[in-house]
Amino acid sequence: MSTTLSAAPMRSADQPHAAGGHGRGPLETFAYDDQIVRWFLAVTVLWGVVAMLAGMVVALQLVMPDLVPALLKALGLSEASAATVQQYLTFGRIRPVHTNAAIFAFVGNGMFAGVYFSTQRLCKARMWSDLLSRLHFWGWQAIIVAAAVTLPMGFTQGKEYAELEWPIDLAIAVVWLGFFGLNFFMTLLHRRERHMYVALWFYIATIVTVTVLHVFNSLAVPAAPLRSYSVYAGVQDALVQWWYGHNAVAFFLTTPILGLMYYFMPKAAERPVFSYKLSIVHFWSLVFMYIWAGPHHLHYTALPQWASTLGMLFSLMLWMPSWGGMINGLMTLRGAWQRVLTDPVLKFLTVAVTFYGMSTFEGPMLSIKAVNGLAHYTDWVIGHVHGGALGWNACLFFGVFYWLLPRLYRTNLWSTRLAEWHFWTATIGLFTYWVSMQWAGITQGLMWRAFDDSGALAFPDFVETVTKIAPMYWIRAGGGLLFFLGMLMCALNLVMTWRHRSADLSDTVARAPALGPAEPDRVYRSDLQNVIGLGRVTDQVTELTWHRRWERLPLRFTLFVALAIASASAFSLVPMFAVRSNIPTIASVTPYTPLELAGRDIYRAEGCYNCHSQMIRPIWAETRRYGEYSKPGEFVYDHPFQWGSRRIGPDLHRVGGKYSSDWQIRHLENPRSLVQGSIMPAYAHLLNTRLDFDAIPATMHAMKLVGVPYNDQQIAGAVAAAREQAGAVAAEVKAAGGYEGLDDSQAIALVAYLQRLGTDISKPPPAEGAAR
Amino acid sequence: MPHRKERLLEHGYDEIREYDNPTPGWWHAIFLGSIAFSALYFAFWHGSPMAWTPQDSLAADRTAYYARVFRTVGELKADQPTMLKMMADTRWMEFGASIFAANCAACHGAAGAGLTGPNLTDDRYINVRKLEDLFTVVSEGVLPKGMPAWGNRLTQNERVLVASFAASLRGRNLTGRAPEGEVIPPWPTFEPPPPAAP
C-alpha cells in the first residue's frame, strides 16, 4: 500500500487553515512539578508495603486460622481481649483491606506518580493547578486512611472492590474527577504540544471510565452515616457490580498502566515505539470491548444466558487488543535487548509486559464457559489476578520507579545491586504464587465435581477439598513472602536514595513554544488507481492518518471515549433493567423479616461473602452437593447481592434449614469444635455482642426506598417483630440443648438470616389476596 | 512477509518517537477471526433450535445419573425389608456413607458418634422405635430438637439409603456423645430372599 502523505488541509469548520508560521507561538520557559511525583512515589511504596503485609496476613490465616488470636495472646493480651481484637482482624475484614490497599492505594498512587510525571512532559506544561495536585494527593491519602479504618470495623457496602461506604464513595468521586480529572484536563487544554501522545489517550480513558463505573456501581440509599444499601438487587446488582469489577481491572489496573508503559518503556529503552498504527487500533478496541466483558464473572449463575455469552465473547475478542499493548511494549525493546540483561529497569518492564501478555491470554481462556465452570470459585482466579496485579502492575511500577528515582532525586540510585536482588526475588515469588494458585484451583475444582464408582460425590465433605490444597496455600504464602521482601528492598532503596538526594531539588525547567493556531494535519489521500470510491475510502481509513486530527482535539477525543464506553455500557446493561422476562419472579419469595435483615447486615459486615458464595450453578455435581440451583427470582430483595466469587468455604445459598440453629451457634463460636480442619475464623464475639434492634426500622426504610415492598405498619412494628423472632430462635437453640440467653445477641440475628437462606423456593406461594 | 524498511514518523513527544509499522498480519487474522467466531457462536447458542442451555444439560445429567445409579433397584421403598437389604449391601452402604458425610456428619460426627446431634452408634434412640422410623426422622426431621427435615433436599432413594447407613452404625458403640433416649430392640436380621424358582 502506498504511504503517500499530503499536506492537504482538513475540511473543518473549527480548525480553519492556519494563518502563517508553523502554528507556534513565542518560546516560553516553565517548570515541571516534580515534588508531587516524589510524594506520590513515596506513598506508593509505603502503601505497597501495607497492602502486601495485609496480603501476608490473609494468606497465613488460611493455613493458620487461629493465627491472629494466638499472636495477640503471645503479645500478652488476655483471652477475652484477644477475642475482642480478633473480630477486627478476621479474614473477612482484612481481605477487603488487602484488595483495596493493593488496588486503590498501591496501584492508584503509583499510577498518579507516573501520570503526573509523564503528562507534564508530554504536554510540555506544568500541571494546571498546584493546589489541585496537592488536594488530589492529600484527598486520596485521606480516603485510603478512611478505608483502612472503616473496613476492619465492618463498614462495607458488601460489593467486592467497591466496599467503601457512601461518604467515602462521595469523597472518591470528588477527588478523582474534581481534583485529579479537572487538573489533568485543564493541563491538556493548556499544553504546548499540539498532538496528544498515546499515553495521554489511555489516561483520558482511565479518568472518564473510572468515574462512570464508580458512580453507577456505588449508587446506594443510606440508612446510617456509614451504612447504605445498593439501589440494585440480585441479578441486576450482580451485573452492575461485575461491569464495575471487571472494568476496574480494565480501566484502573490496565489502561493507566498501559499509558505508563507507552511513556516509560521507550524512555528507558531509548528506542522508538514499535507501531503507531497498532497503538490506535488496540486503544480503541480496548476502550470499546472491555466494557462488555464483565459478565464472564457470572457464568452459570442466575444471570440470563445472553449476558453470559456476551461476556465470554467480548473477552475472547479482547485477546488481540490486549496483546496489541504487549506487542508494542516488547517490540519497542528491539535493539535494546542486550541492555535488558543488565538494567533492572528494563528487566522489570520486560517481565511486566510479559505478564501482561500471559494474563490477557489466561483471562480470555478463563472466560470460556467450560473452563470457567471448573475455575470459578477456585484459587485459579486468585492466581490470575495476582499475575496481573503483581506481574503486570507492580513490576511495571518497580521498573518505572528505578528509572525515576535518580531523576527525581538528582543522584544515583542508592543500590543497583539491591534493585537486581529485588528483581529476582519478585520474579521468583511471583511465579511461585501464580503456579501454586493455579494448581490449588484446578485441584479443588476437580475435587468438587468428582464422583466415585457408586455414583456419589467422591469428596462429599467440603473441608476435605480445603485441607487437600493447604500445602499449596503454604507455597503461596512463601511466594507472597518473597514478593513482600522485594517490596521492602524497594522501600530501602527509595529511602537511601532520598537520603543521598541532591541539595537542589528545584523543579525541572523546560522551554517550549506556546501553541499558535493549528496547522493542518498531514492526511493520507488514497492514490489507488482503478478502484471504486469505496476502495479509496477504505484505503484512507485503514491508513489511520485521520486519527492525527483527533489527537489535537482533547475535548472531542474525550467525548469519543465517553461515547464508546457509554454506548457499550448501555447495550450490555440496559436490557437487564428493561426486559422483565430476564428475571422471572417466584410467588413464594418474600422479603426478609426485620431480624433476618439485621442478620444480613452482620453477614455483610463480617465479609462472609469473601469466602462463601450464595449461588448454586446448574451443574450436576454442584446441585448434588448444595441442592437445587439458584434461580434469578430468589434474589429480588437482595440489596446488595451476596453471590460471592470464591468458595474458601462451601456455598450457603441453601444452608437454610440444613443445620440446627444450635449447631450454627456453636459453629460460629468455634468452627473447629464441629468441623475438623475448618479454616473459618471463630466468631465467638457475635454471641456476646448485643444486636442494635433500634437500627432496624432505618434499614427497612432504606430498603423500601430501593423497592422492597415493606409497608409502614411493618416498619413501625419492626423492633417488636425482630425481638419476637429472636426470642423464638433463641428458644429453639436452648431446646436443642444449646446456650441460653442469646435473645438479643448478634449471633441470633445472623442465624435467623442463615436459616432463611434459599428456603422460600420450597414454600407454597402465598394465598391470593394475602398481604404481601 | 516481504522485508519492509521501517519508517519513523516525523513527530516526537518528549523525545519519544514512533515507527509507522503496520499492525502485524497474524494479529489482524486472530482479531478478525475472534470476531467472526463470536458472531457464529452467538448465532448458534442464541438463535439455533439445536442449542441447549446449562439447565438442559443438568436435566440430562440428572436423568442419566438416576438411570445409571438406581437402574437395578428403581425407587426404593421406605420399609424394613428394603432397608435391611440395603444394609447388607456394601456398595449401597458406600453410597449412603457419602450422603451421610455430605449432610449428616456435621452434627452427628464423621463416624456417627454424635456432636450436636445424638450418637448413632449405641443402642439408645430418642424418636426411633423401629427401623423405618429412621427414614421418617430423616425425612420430616425433629424440628424442636434441631434435626432438620431432609424431605425437600434428598430424594426418596437417598433418604432410604442414608437412613439405612445410619442404622448400620448401630452397635459400634463409639465414644462420643453420651447415649440418649431409650434402649430399643435390635434391628431384625436380614434374610436374603430365597433364590428364584427355576
Residues of chain B with Cβ-Cβ distance to A302 below 8 Å are: none
Stated as kind and residue range, the H or E segment containing A53 is helix A35-61
Q: Please tell me which residue, B115 or A769, carries the higher pLDDT value.
A: B115
- This prediction has a pTM of 0.93
Say yes or no: B66 and B155 in one domain.
Answer: yes
* Closest listed residue to residue B171, CA positions, set B121, B111, B128, B113: B121
- DSSP class of residue A14? S
DSSP E strands in A123-269: the ranges are: 220-224, 227-230
Structural domain contains residue B192: no
Q: Which residues numbered 598-627 in A keep a CB inside 8 Å of some CB on B?
A: 617-620, 623, 625, 627
Mean pLDDT of B109-138: 93
Say yes or no: B79 and B175 in one domain.
Answer: yes
Residue A430: phi, psi to the nearest 5? -60, -45
Stated as kind and residue range, the H or E segment containing B64 is helix B54-69
pLDDT at A537: 85
- Strand-pairing partners, residue A377, are A646
- DSSP class of residue A25? E
The C-alpha cell 456476551 sits at A310
B54 to A455: CB separation less than 8 angstroms, yes or no: no
Q: Read off the pLDDT band of B3 (50, 70, 90).
A: very low
Amino acid at A594: P
Say yes or no: B22 and B72 in one domain.
Answer: no
**CA angle in degrees (0–180, nearest 5) for A423-A429-A431:** 100
CB atoms < 10 A from the CB of A717, how many?
13
Structural domain contains residue B92: yes
What does the DSSP assignment read for A627-668?
-SPP-GGGGTT-SS----SB-SS---TT-TTTS-HHHHHHHH
pLDDT at A231: 95
Say yes or no: B38 and B65 in one domain.
Answer: no
Answer whether B165's CB lies under 8 Å from B108's CB: no
DSSP E strands in A164-246: the ranges are: 220-224, 227-230
Say yes or no: B69 and B116 in one domain.
Answer: yes
| pLDDT, averaged across chain B | 90
Structural domain contains residue B37: yes
Using CA atoms, how far apart are residues A310 and A301, in angstroms rounded to an integer? 14
Taking the Cβ of residue A712 and every Cβ of chain B, the question of whether any pair is shorter than 8 Å is answered with no
Say yes or no: B113 and B31 in one domain.
Answer: no
| pLDDT, averaged across chain A | 93
Say yes or no: B39 and B64 in one domain.
Answer: no
pLDDT at A22: 57
Domain boundary among B47, B62, B78: B47
Structural domain contains residue B74: yes
Using CA atoms, how far apart are residues B56 and A607, in angstroms rounded to an integer? 34
pLDDT at A770: 47
pLDDT at A2: 37
Taking the Cβ of residue B44 and every Cβ of chain A, the question of whether any pair is shorter than 8 Å is answered with no
Q: Which residues numbered 160-189 in B keep a CB inside 8 Å of some CB on A?
A: none
CB atoms < 10 A from the CB of A538, how many?
14
Structural domain contains residue B188: no
Say yes or no: B120 and B98 in one domain.
Answer: yes
CA separation, residue B140 to residues A110, A404, B153, B165 (Å)? 60, 70, 11, 17
Say yes or no: B39 and B134 in one domain.
Answer: no
Q: What range defines the domain where residue B16 resides?
A: 2-47
| Gap from A313 CA to chain B (nearest CA, Å) | 6
Q: Nearest Cβ partner of B19 from A274, A619, A676?
A: A274
Structural domain contains residue B118: yes
- DSSP class of residue B36? H
pLDDT at A744: 95
Structural domain contains residue B197: no
Burial of A565 (0-12, 13-18, 19+ CB in 10 A): buried
Residues of chain B with Cβ-Cβ distance to A197 below 8 Å are: 13-14, 16
Say yes or no: B27 and B105 in one domain.
Answer: no
Residue to test with chain A: of B5, B15, B19, B94, most A Cβ within 10 A: B19
CATH code where residue B99 lies: 1.10.760.10
Say yes or no: B85 and B174 in one domain.
Answer: yes
What does the DSSP assignment read for A654-715?
T-TTTS-HHHHHHHHH-GGGTSTT--PPP-THHHHSBP-GGGHHHHHHHHHHTT----HHHH
| Gap from B36 CA to chain A (nearest CA, Å) | 9
> Which value does ipTM take for this structure?
0.90
All three cell numbers of A669, joined, read 463460636
- Three-class SS state of A758: coil
Taking the Cβ of residue A317 and every Cβ of chain B, the question of whether any pair is shorter than 8 Å is answered with yes
Structural domain contains residue B175: yes
Residue to test with chain B: of A319, A624, A660, most B Cβ within 10 A: A660
Say yes or no: B68 and B31 in one domain.
Answer: no
In chain A, how long is the greatest CA-to-CA distance?
Answer: 94
Using CA atoms, how far apart are residues A237 and A640, in angstroms rounded to an integer? 7
Count of domains observed in chain B: 2
Q: Which residues contact A271 (CB under 8 A, 6 or more apart)?
A: A332, A333, A334, A335, A336
- Three-class SS state of A393: helix
How does pLDDT run across A656-712, given as a tens digit for each residue?
999 999 999 999 999 999 999 999 999 999 999 999 999 999 999 999 999 999 999
Position B27 pLDDT exceeds 70:
yes
pLDDT at A750: 98
Ranges of chain A whose pLDDT falls below 70: 1-23, 767-772
All three cell numbers of A191, joined, read 499544553
Chain A: residue nearest B57 by CA?
Answer: A619
Answer whether A736's CB lies under 8 Å from A661's CB: yes
Chain A and chain B share a number of CB contacts under 8 A equal to 176
